[in-house]
Chains A and B, each alone.
Chain A
């Protein structure tokens, strides 16, 4: 006996099965699993992409001779610092991988751990972890540029 199946009901059933399978990916041989390193590589790749795009942004500002204007000088400063930060953070992630868990010790009476500094690598790790020293000024430059532009827009209209 032939059974009539409605297309809508079939689609819903398919989606439900797909969701059940998605919750159990090991059983699906066609699904490629993503391990931990892939996430790190993607993150590092994003840092490099950010550096490249900011460098292109800076080159465009230079090509258009926008540095004549104070707002654009400030944007340039912000973009430069943000690119520096991205490189800084990239190195920070590498240093983090190279620093073993055993390098961190918590002394009695101290809530914040200590770093056992025995090589240049540990020193590098210590300093690159303070990336806000570059990142926050980058944003401040950008904010100053926006403020300057706002005052120019207020004075001169939209021209």
Chain B
């Protein structure tokens, strides 16, 4: 039997305990700095929790060991017998906390993945919103220009007509040899130019095809369903797309049509309950492309359905009542038509017809 001094063991224990206190303090400090740099980052918060748990473990364990050695060398070894269970219990708790925090890593990873997906979605949505905003600004500016033109035409039409009419009558009655005849002819010419200008302003180009492009109806509907799918999943509502086998091309403004479809689907989601279904069908009609939105929700009473497209008509508190009228306006701007049929307890069907080329459907009707 040999005797081995416990001095190396005690030295490693004492210096190791001091080292653990120092390193755990450094860990906690670094984790706090990370958290200050990115206070909303889930990983930064997680690392702070983990570092705090490791810090608690290191401090409780190391202090226990240092006190133990201190008591031994000061001749109070027996005191450690009383403190030992307390120190051991705190250690046990800190192990459990570290273990629990490390197990929570999986949840953090799930949260981070979800945040990342949501951030990507937000990026896409904000890009679309920016484009939409630009288009709306352009439409508003064009409308303002047209309205100003119409007002201007309205104000000067009568004076121009009167001046032109009187000048022509004077021209007819004026002798050929009159020295004023040439000047009067100039008045007639200029008033005719003015009348032509008024007519031009009075019949502005009804539609601007500049922002319209060839679109595929089924793909557009599918895009919109993708956007509202999360909301539908959360509410337990099933959205089914029954798309036409062949492409349904039409001329339209991508963002406006998307807004219109999104609004219809959101209305459906708001009125339907969990377990209900919204079926979206795209098909080719007679010289039209058709999108049908049908749900098996509670339906709309006839007295409300009759006014559903009236501006400012609403049955919901907090709603402006301009949603569906706006949808109607968008569809009509595309020379399309929108029809709603619904009655209480039978669901709602919204049928949208759009012409493949602008102006076509309105000419047919």
Known A39-B85, A140-B23; contact A60-B6, beta-carbon cutoff 8 A: no
Is A54 a contact partner of B102 (Cβ separation < 8 A)? yes
- Convert A54-80 into 0s and 1s, putting 1 for each residue whose CB lies closer than 8 angstroms to a CB of B: 101100100010000000000000010
Which of A50, A132, A135 has its CB near the most chain B CB atoms (within 10 A)? A132
With A43-B91, A142-B27, A154-B37 known to touch, is A53 a contact of B102 (CB < 8 Å)? yes
Bound complex: CA A99 to CA B196 (Å): 115
Query: Once the chains bind, are B27 and A143 in contact (CB under 8 Å)?
Result: yes
The secondary structure that dominates the A interface is helix
Contact between A57 and B13, CB atoms less than 8 A apart: no
A158 lies within 8 A of B24 (CB) = no
Q: Which residues of B contact A139 (CB under 8 A)?
A: 20, 23-24, 27, 54, 58
Sample 11 A-B pairs with CB under 8 A, ordered by A number.
A39-B92, A49-B96, A50-B96, A54-B99, A82-B98, A107-B3, A112-B6, A126-B4, A135-B16, A147-B30, A158-B38
Contacts of A132 in B (CB 8 A): 12-13, 15-17, 19-20
Interface size range of chain B in the complex: 35 or more
Q: What is the CB-to-nearest-CB distance from A149 to chain B, in angstroms, rounded to a whole number?
A: 6
Which of B103-111, B137-145, B279-287, B340-348 lines the interface with chain A?
Answer: B103-111
Nearest CB in chain B: distance from A148 CB, A: 10
Inter-subunit contact B1/A118 (CB<8 Å): yes
B34 A57 Cβ-Cβ under 8 A: no
Task: Specify which chain A residues have a CB less than 8 angstroms from the CB of B109 in the assembled complex.
Answer: 60, 64
With CB as the reference atom, state the residue of chain B lying closest to A61: B105
Q: Which residue from A49, A143, A158 sits with its C-beta under 8 Å from B23?
A: A143
- Given contacts A130-B12, A140-B23, whether A56 and B103 have CB atoms under 8 Å apart is yes
Known: A39-B85, A47-B95, A53-B98. A146 touches B12 (CB 8 A): no
Docked CA distance A53–B8 (Å) = 32
Knowing A46-B95, A86-B95, A142-B54 are in contact, say whether A153-B4 is a contact too (CB < 8 A). no
